Structure 1
Amino acid sequence: MDYRRVTTLKEIQDYLGASNLIAFDFETAPQDEYRHDDKAALDAHKAVIVGVSLSVSEGTGVYVPLRHRTGGNADSPEKIMDWLVKAVFTNSAIIKAAHNLSFEAMFLYALGIVVQPPCYDTIAAAQMTLKNNTEFRSLGDSGLKALVPELFDVDLPSFEAVTAGRYFDELDPRDTEIIRYACADSDYTLRLYHLFNNWFDRYLPKHRYVVEEIESPTAVYVGLMKYNGLLVDRELMLKKQAEAEAKLAELKNEIAFMIGDVEIGANASTAAFKKYLYEDLKLPVLKTTAKYQEAADDETMILLSDWSRENRPELARLFELVQEYRKWGKLKSTYIDGYLEHINAATGRIHPEMFPLGTETGRFASRRPNLQNMPRSDTDSIGVRNFIIAPPGKALLSLDFSQIELRVGAFYCRDEKMLETYKTGGDIHAQTTSVIYHIPFEQAASKNAEHYKERRSIAKNCNFGVFYGLFSRGLQRNLKFKAGLNTSLAECEEIIRNLKAGYPRLTQWQDEVRTRAGFRKYTETYLGRRRYLPNIASTDWGKRSFAERCALNTPIQGTAADILKLALVRIIVGLSERMWLKPLLQVHDELVFELPEDKVSEAVGFIKACMEAQPFAAFDVPIVAEASIGARFGEMKEID
């Protein structure tokens, strides 16, 4: 390999030449005050860039030492980095390739730099390639140290083997092994770029577009969110923690008064509690687990509560207490204890890990902590969203796509009533209410009409379910457990019949999708993000039914995810001129930012333009993003 250390700007310029594709990789190390923290080197608030490797042709690479504590660094590191920023990282004529681009983007953002497209994340590309006939690589399959041996039959030395317990800035950049280790990362990133693109061109050309135009710029956005994090009100969290502990103790005592010394554990799901319910009380088994054992989940508690009101009224209170106990237990363990655990000591903020390819449909996932499952204000007893706050003089700004999946569904199925409703700015839930109950639209939309609330709730559940092949039993379950409505199975069957009759193109589209997926054994989004469905022809009804639902929901959820990510690309391009606008979080169809209070109007106009732009030429349904502002995430007020 032609790997070498370079220490002057001219050497860098001579090596890069006129290349329009540059692979790069950063080596980092903790600042002095964080050297006791073994994870600090991965945190841009606690670490610095020690050196950068660059590669423009396979088998070659240069390493530029910037902040080593021994062995000598490059001449004028600041000058070199300034040149790289202008000539490479923000240059719209250069393709910037990195393996786990969000990491490099985060460290550049710490310097006030937003990496600009075109860019290429080889870890995203890896996840968009197949590891067998029907499975795409997972994130765990996509690390550089795993891919290189598999695809190039070369074993790369591990970080631990090279550093031997030292930080990277303690290594001598003149050492051949150190140069080899640093340069190999950028060299093999370049090789992966060519390998994956050749694979895409041969087998899945649309995935190359998804990687280059959607997932790679999204990786940059993820790095920005990771760096900014979410400021939290720790005092409020501790106060709510004490309230939750007191409430749990109170509920546990009430339950113990009814059932004696049966151990219920932290979630009222112990084997002893199940034995008490089904053997001691001899209650009916209204639901079983996947292994055909007696269930004791939340849905079971609701079913047993309903049964008890009619058959054992003295037990109804027990199940209400158990549901309340579980709710408070989850709020405390997940949203108070869990969030407190992840507050960064250097920033006072939570910096969750975001995974833009964390689901098969292309929607985000997150962990440490998982902020995708944050409860909404109307279902939150302790105000979890109020933990997230803006600093003094700043505000939180949220922009949320309005009914994006329903709009995508209307685009797909081409139903005239749905399209007309959206194109005229109408109320789709009122339209569905009108279709289901055969009543005039005006009556369906009137809040003063008889049965308005119940009918609208049913219409909403239909809208958010039937696109995905919801059956009458599923609708009945959703209405019971999500809306608190006891609707008979016959009524649910009639509702779905009326819905399909009122939206005739919906059923036709669903049949077409199922047929096409059954033939191809896969489904895909409009832009070509593919999901394989090997069980679509299974003789097992459960597996086949799930695959058919995936065939229907992936085009809608996945296309909606693509539309959101395309908006992120537009935002990235405009952020360099608006460094005061800080991306914080993505939750489903919502983007959250932090900004100065006097910049709200400018920010709303910019972000709405990015989100509401036509995502691709064929999409002819208006997109609407609704803005909210507030000092706390749980107290956001809608902006007209």
Structure 2
Amino acid sequence: MAFGKGHHLHLIDGSAFIFRAYHALPPLTRKSDGLPIGAVSGFCNMLFRYIEDSAGPDAPTHAAVIFDKGSLTFRNEIYDLYKANRDEMPEDLRPQIPLTREATRAFNIACEEKAGYEADDIIAALACQAREAGGRVTIISSDKDLMQLVGGGVEMLDAMKNKRIGVEEVEEKFGVGPDRVVDVQALAGDSVDNVPGAPGIGLKIAAQLINEYGDLETLLERAGEIKQPKRRQTLIDHAEQIRLSRRLVQLDCDTPLDFTLDDLEVKEPDAEVLLEFLGRMEFRTISKRVAEKLGVEAPAIEDQGAAQADAPPVPEAVPFDAEAYECIRSMTQLDAWLDRIAAQGYVAFDTETTSLSEMRAELVGISLAIAPGRACYIPLAHRSGEDDMFGGGLSDGQIGKDLVLEALKPMLEDPAILKIAQNAKYDAKILSRCGIEVAPLDDTMLLSYALHAGLHTHGMDALSERYLGHNPIPIKELIGSGKSQITFDRVPIPDAVRYAAEDADITLRLWQHLKPQLHAGRVTTVYETLERPLIPVLARMELEGVKVDRNVLSRMSGAFAQKMAELEADIHALAGEPFNVGSPKQLGEILFDRMGLEGGKKGKTGAWSTPADVLEDLATVHDLPGRVLDWRQLSKLKSTYTDSLQDHINPETGRVHTSYSIAGANTGRLASTEPNLQNIPIRTEEGRRIREAFVAEEGKVLLSLDYSQIELRILAHIAGIDALREAFRDGVDIHALTASEMFGTPVEGMDPMIRRQAKAINFGVIYGISGFGLARNLRIPREDAQAFINRYFERFPGIKDYMDATTKFAKANGYVETLFGRRINTPDINAKGPGAGFAKRAAINAPIQGTAADIIRRAMIRMEPAIEGMPAKMLLQVHDELIFEVDEAAADEVSERVREIMEGAADPAVKLSVPLVVEAGRGPNWAAAH
């Protein structure tokens, strides 16, 4: 029967499948001979999935995979620079190209290509023929060039996002209908294919012009009417180039074909042919799946090794369907899921709780996902109505929490089953409190962080929208906000199923998308050695917490209040009148209106602005702003620490349990919240006193081990500063040495103020400090500060060379790297305007700060096995310092063991040319230990 009305043609863009498969999976080789087969493996998985999904009333009656025959086509004869800027095909992909054709034929799908023409031209010819015959066409591709074919029964399917592209979607992208896409492309050009277009005219302007004049030829004929001189001249001067561009982007619906639509009729795969090919490729897993599907026995294939077995499948184009998720209400259902998970070897999971605080949250339910679209939710503690005095009120149809956790525990602790989570540390702590130690873990948040630090955030909603094209159900829809907000245990179970199971489903899809990219991004080592192993280490530290003495905090609050009152009196005396020191508006009026100081700026409201940097500048010329800064510092210490820390003491443990964010800073530095212990000031006496409230339990001491000047040491190594390297190797006072080099002052008997200035420059230069910044730090005139910096670079020219080289590298590549391979993206490095200076300073500092962060991470990861069996617990990490709680009698032994691990943490991955030195202290509280 000839192709016609009622028939449905699928045209698959073969090149898109190949390149997606190549980039989605790590390199794989055939075990028997080392032949690269990663792209072929992914390609076969995608074809098989396509066949499995092509069922039902919308299934194709005809289908073909269309390939490019070669790189040269008739377009190169028209324009010899067409696609001239395309990269060479990767060497390991080249031998796989013919195998993808063989794979297509093995699946019994039509495989077509034609010399001198692009795959898009063949697709265009077939789509036009099918449309004219009255049939439907689905082009499986996201290639924008094919969008000119959409309409009249032809649509596209972006399989990656499972998104259909019709006329409306084309109009949304190009601003014109499919029939005018080539006109817009001819004007806008295409840098990927090296189509020249009209210089300076982008898609938006191109669409406006075509909509105004109707079509490209009319526009070019009437170009002299255009009011904008530059645009008018561009169209007049480049008319022939634009016409050429149209010929390049116009697909050839008259491409001569040596086959017909009828030749593309869908056929069942021949089991013997297909399995022979898969067996020859040594694809063990897909061979079993295909054999099971076709009802035959799978061929015996030698084990391919861990590389292929561990590679996650290419993400499926399965639509999100919240109604399809399963609610687990019986042990029979749960057992069936556990069997599937055991057979598969990995599962995505998520916990639902009553709070974001892991130490206080109660477990409400657990969700699981084993494949895109296949997810479930196990409700454990949902409540309906008011609880009675005995704690009742549980909703019906829930399995007992203890029973479920007992059933899940073996799976969640099984080393042979990979558990995948988004922000896995949270879920690990929740389950640890339930007696389950989840391992091994993969974390999609950390996968994204390792790949894309500095480019975007790594929360699940943002990642889902960016990489899956899906907006998750907002939590506010379930629990509300503000005073009317409820806890998750009050959410009706059907709503909870849709929300929670979707989270697990998204997590699994993100893992399938992100995990294979580690190898291509050259960050596998970073993820596997610096990110993933840190999850259980931090979880145990956070669960342990640190004891905080409430009485000490109360006394400090009183002392700070008294000191603030004394400062207020001094400030009022200097001002000559009383005013509210905490009011920026009143302070501005005193400084700039009454006292007439220079440097003030008014905000949008007309009031003077008095941020810290303004006051720091003013403090170099008057005492009052400096006193206000001191008052603000005390006010912050009181409100942020001595008052609020008391609220963070856990009533059950008597300890404070901070939460560390592994992905909190682009450089790899940890951030802490609830409370933030990283920002406790240590430069002032009052700030240091806060640490007196952090105490050891009776019979124990706090042990503090702190890297000495680690970032300066790393700078000396990276920048190759021989004078600094030698000084560090000889144990010389680096700040005194710098002062001596800069100011010609002997080290012996040096004025402490001169050493302090050198120290400020040493540390400031790492952060790209300016003369302005140094002047503020030292409270000296700006010109003196700049002179110090100039002299510093003259004495240590290698530092300036490092800064220039790092900036140049960042501008060329869009990222910088630590010594351990952590990639820190610098998207704003080429920006202009006020942010340019900050971006440059950040790029210069990132390799140094990031390397220091990597070193302490390596130390923390090695620490637990190193001190196992010792009466010691690692409690806190603050910048370059680790704090332990140790039995007093074992303090010496533990201190030496910890010092050994920390000082050797860079080895063997990086051999530093300067020694790492760790200073140790101990005491009944943190202040005494540091």
| TM-score class normalised by the smaller sequence | 0.7 to 0.9
Q: Which residue number in structure 2 is paired with residue 271 of structure 1?
A: 585
- What's the CA shift for 1:330? 2.5
Could you say which residue in structure 2 is the equivalent of 1:15? 340
User: Is this contact kept in 2: 1:411–1:619, CA < 8 A?
Assistant: no
Paired residue type of 1:506: I
Pairing 1:240-319 to 2, within 5 Å after superposition: 240-253=556-569, 255-256=571-572, 259=575, 262-266=578-582, 269-281=583-595, 283-286=596-599, 296-297=610-611, 300-301=614-615, 304=618, 307=621, 318=624
Note the C-alpha offset of 1:234. 1.2
- Which amino acid in the other structure matches residue 760 of structure 2? N
Q: Could you tell me which amino acid in structure 1 is paired with residue 818 of structure 2?
A: T
Q: Structure 1 pair 583/180, CA: closer, same or farther in 2 (3 Å)?
A: farther
Match of 1:584 in 2: 875
| Partner residue in 2 for 1:188 | 506
> What is the letter of the counterpart of residue 820 of structure 2?
L
Shift in alpha-carbon separation, 1:295–1:98, aligned structure 2, 3 A:
same
1:32-78: CA deviation from partner (whole Å, max 9, x where unpaired): xxxxxxx3xx4444344455444444443465666775433388556
- CA shift at 1:587, angstroms? 1.5
Question: Contact between 1:129 and 1:136, CA under 8 Å: does it hold in 2?
Answer: no
SS at match of 1:465: helix
Q: Is the 8 A contact 2:774 2:785 kept in 1?
A: no
Alignment-derived partner of residue 188 in structure 2: none
Secondary structure in structure 2 of the residue aligned to 1:205 = coil
Alignment check: 8 A CA contact 2:375 2:504 kept: yes
Letter matched to residue 124 of structure 1: L
Give the 3-state SS of the residue equivalent to 2:911 in structure 1.
coil
Aligned to 1:456: 755
Deviation of 1:157 after TM superposition, in Å, equals 4.3
Question: In the alignment, does 2:730 pair up with 1:411?
Answer: no
Alpha-carbon distance change, 101 to 538 in structure 1, aligned in 2, over 3 angstroms: closer
Q: For the Cα contact (< 8 Å) 2:720–2:798, is it kept in 1? A: yes
CA–CA distance in structure 1, aligned partners of residues 365 and 607 of structure 2: 57
Q: Are 1:608 and 2:914 counterparts?
A: no
Q: Does 1:101 align with 2:424?
A: yes
Q: TM-score, normalised by structure 1?
A: 0.78
Deviation at 1:548, TM superposition (A): 2.3
Shift in Å, 1:2: 7.2
Partner of 2:661: 355
- Within 2, Cα distance between the matches of 1:46 and 1:544? 43
Amino acid at match of 1:240: M
Residue aligned with 2:532, SS: helix
Partner of 2:924: 631
State whether residues 703 and 883 of structure 2, in contact with CA within 8 Å, keep that contact through their aligned partners in structure 1: yes
1: CA distance, partners of 2:781 / 2:679: 28
User: Contact 1:375–1:385 at 8 Å: present in 2 too?
Assistant: no
What residue number does 1:125 align with? 447
Q: Does 1:544 align with 2:871?
A: no
The yes-or-no answer on 1:559 pairing with 2:851 is yes
Q: CA separation in 2, counterparts of 1:149 and 1:537?
A: 27
Query: Cα 1:611–1:264, aligned 2, differ >3 Å: closer, same or farther?
Result: same
Equivalent position to 2:804, from 495, 511, 515: 511
Structure 2 counterpart SS, 1:383: helix
Identity of matched residues, %: 32
Equivalent residue, structure 2, for 1:311: none
Q: Residue 861 of structure 2 aligns to which amino acid in structure 1?
A: V
Query: Whose radius of gyration is greater, 1 or 2?
Result: 2
Q: Kindly indicate whether the alpha-carbon contact (under 8 Å) linking 1:129 and 1:137 is maintained by their aligned counterparts in 2.
A: no
Q: 1:312 matched to which residue of 2?
A: none
- Looking at structure 2, the residues matched to 551 and 431 of structure 1 have their Cα atoms a distance apart, in angstroms, of 27
CA positional deviation for 1:372? 1.6
Q: Distance in 2 between matches of 1:632 and 1:507?
A: 42
Q: Give 2:460's aligned residue.
A: 143
602 and 340 in structure 1: CA distance in 2 versus 1, 3 angstrom threshold: same
Letter of the 2:734 partner, please give it.
Answer: I
SS at 1:344 equivalent: coil
Structure 2 residue aligned with 1:32: none
2: CA distance between counterparts of 1:563 and 1:223? Answer: 19
Higher RCO structure, 1 or 2 (CA under 8 Å, sep 6+): 1
In 1, the alpha carbon distance for the partners of 2:893 and 2:503 equals 41
Q: What's the secondary structure of 1:120's corresponding residue? A: strand
Partner of 2:544: 228
C-alpha distance in structure 2 between counterparts of 1:525 and 1:152, whole Å: 30
Q: Is the 8 A contact 1:377 1:383 kept in 2?
A: no
- Shift, 1:375, TM fit: 1.8
Query: Where do 5+ consecutive residues of structure 2 fail to align?
Result: 1-323, 383-393
**Structure 1 residues 20 and 411: alpha-carbon distance in aligned structure 2, compared to 1, 3 A threshold:** farther
In structure 2, relative to structure 1, the CA distance for the partners of 1:613 and 1:66 (3 Å cut) is: farther
Task: Kindly provide the CA deviation profile for residues 406-461 of structure 1, in whole angstroms up to 9, marking residues without a partner as x.
Answer: 1221221122233333345444334434432456xxx52xxxx2324233323322
Q: Which residue of the partner structure matches residue 238 of structure 1?
A: 554
Q: 1:63 to 1:579 in 2, by over 3 A?
A: farther
CA distance 1:412–1:200, change in 2 (3 Å):
same
Q: Find the aligned partners of 2:756 and 2:775 in 1 and give their Cα distance.
A: 12
Residue pairs, 1:7-156, within 5 angstroms: 7=331, 11=336, 14-17=339-342, 19-28=344-353, 39=355, 42-61=356-375, 69=394, 70-71=396-397, 72-73=399-400, 76-77=403-404, 79-80=406-407, 82-84=409-411, 86-87=413-414, 91=415, 94-110=417-433, 119-128=441-450, 136-139=455-458, 142-144=459-461, 146-148=462-464, 151-154=467-470, 156=472
* CA deviation after TM superposition for structure 1 residue 562, in Å: 1.8
CA displacement at 1:363 relative to structure 2: 1.7
Output the amino acid matched with 2:460.
Answer: G
What is the Cα deviation at residue 331 of structure 1?
2.5
Contact 1:241 1:336 in 2 (8 A): yes
Secondary structure of 1:46's aligned partner: coil
Deviations 1:107-165 (A, max 9, x none): 2443566655x5322123344555xxx962225xx234x54455435555455656898
Cα 1:400–1:52 change in 2 (3 A) is same
Inter-partner Cα distance in structure 2 for 1:418 and 1:464:
13
Distance 1:51 1:375, change over 3 A: same
CA distance in 1, matches of 2:864, 2:500: 28
Q: Secondary structure at the match of 2:542?
A: helix
SS in structure 1 of the partner of residue 696 of structure 2? coil
Measure how far apart 1:332 and its partner are: 1.8
Say whether the 8 Å CA contact 1:52–1:64 is kept in structure 2: yes
Which secondary structure does the structure 2 equivalent of 1:464 belong to?
helix
In the aligned structure 2, how far is the partner of 1:105 from the partner of 1:498? Answer: 52
Shift of 1:389: 1.6
Residue 47 (structure 2) aligns with: none
SS of the residue 1:360 aligns to: coil
How far has the Cα of 1:399 moved from its partner?
2.0
> How far did residue 370 of structure 1 move?
2.5
Contact 2:817-2:824 at 8 Å conserved across structures: yes
TM-score of the pair, normalised by structure 2: 0.56
**C-alpha distance in 2, partners of 1:178/1:497?**
62
SS in 1 for 2:331: coil
**Contact 1:128-1:137 within 8 A present in 2 as well:** no
State the partner residue of 1:327: 633
Q: Return the letter of the residue paired with 1:241.
A: S
> 1:257-279 CA deviation, whole Å, 9 max, x = no partner?
6656653242xx43233223322
Partner of 2:259: none
CA distance in structure 1 between the partners assigned to 2:561 and 2:518 by the alignment: 53
CA distance, structure 2, for counterparts of residue 534 and residue 74 of structure 1: 47
- In structure 2, the CA distance between the partners of 1:85 and 1:592, relative to structure 1 (3 Å rule), is farther
